Amino acid sequence: AAAVASIAFGEAVAAVDGNVKRVLARLEAITDHVSQSTTTRRLRALACHLLPSDRPGDFNQALMELGALVCTPQSPTCPACPWQDDCRGRAAGIQATLPRRRARAALPHVTVTAGVIRHTDGRVLIAQRKPTAMLGGLWEFPGGKCLDDEPLTDCLRREVREELGIEIEVGQRLTVLRHSYTHFRITLHVFECRFVSGEPRAIDCADWRWARVAELDDYAFPVTDRKIVALVQGQEARG
């Protein structure tokens, strides 16, 4: 908004975007994290101090382009910068390290199992997630999160028993899938399984189905489970 106001209407307001913050942090060798409110206020005050009253739009545009084309995040072209002799960051040899940002915390990691559980007639068992659960209402291959140090096969048998009340035999691992959500990431181990005993019940899910492989496209699956669907369909196509 400040850039538009100054460029289009000549208003003397400083535009402080990411490029401008980088230029000013290097110009003054500001080593505080730019995400801090005090640093943001300091950079804005500096931008306002430098802003000329007669041509604010041209100045804002030039400063933003300086950050985009010369004072770039990696490998800034300092010899081409009009402020090279006044840049405190360059004088200290720290310009490439500025502005400082807080390191992002590593996303928590969860190990998950899922089973392609086959009936004797070739159908596979799928379960529908509860409406209140994450990705609620979508269908998935049964399984769940592993407990600490729990063997993968034990985890899968336990999760299927708790979710659907049946016993399975866990066979070979078919694939390992990785996916990142907003607040965590998962490693999903997918196993070939055989239905052994019991009658499926929706104990910890909304619903369940024995579905033929050709029917799986009729159900809505999350991204990772869509990859399992493609794998199972490929197996069937190859015979």
Domains and CATH numbers, the chain: 2-97 (1.10.1670.10), 109-238 (3.90.79.10)
Residue 107's CB: how many other CB atoms inside 10 A?
A: 13
Please give the average per-residue pLDDT across 212-232, as a whole number: 97
CA distances from 12 to 33, 58, 112 (A): 27, 11, 56
Cα angle vertex 120, ends 207, 230, to 5°? 65
Q: What is the pLDDT of residue 2?
A: 72
pLDDT in tens, 117-155: 999 999 999 999 999 999 999 999 999 999 999 999 999
3-state helix, strand, coil in the chain (%, to 5): 40, 25, 40
User: In the numeric block, which tokens belong to residue 5?
Assistant: 């106001």
- Nearest C-alpha neighbor of 119 from the set 13, 208, 219: 208
- With H, G, I as helix, E, B as strand and everything else as coil, classify residue 228: helix
- With H, G, I as helix, E, B as strand and everything else as coil, classify residue 173: strand
What distance in Å separates the CA atoms of residue 152 and residue 198, rounded to the nearest whole number? 22
What distance in Å separates the CA atoms of residue 134 and residue 180, rounded to the nearest whole number? 14
- Calculate the average pLDDT of the chain: 95
Q: What is the pLDDT of residue 94?
A: 96
Query: What is the DSSP pairing of strand 109-118 with strand 185-197?
Result: parallel
Residue 77's CB: how many other CB atoms inside 10 A?
A: 11
Band of residue 23 on the pLDDT scale cut at 50, 70, 90: very high
| Residue in the structure block whose two tokens are 């959500």 | 181
Q: What is the pLDDT of residue 129?
A: 97
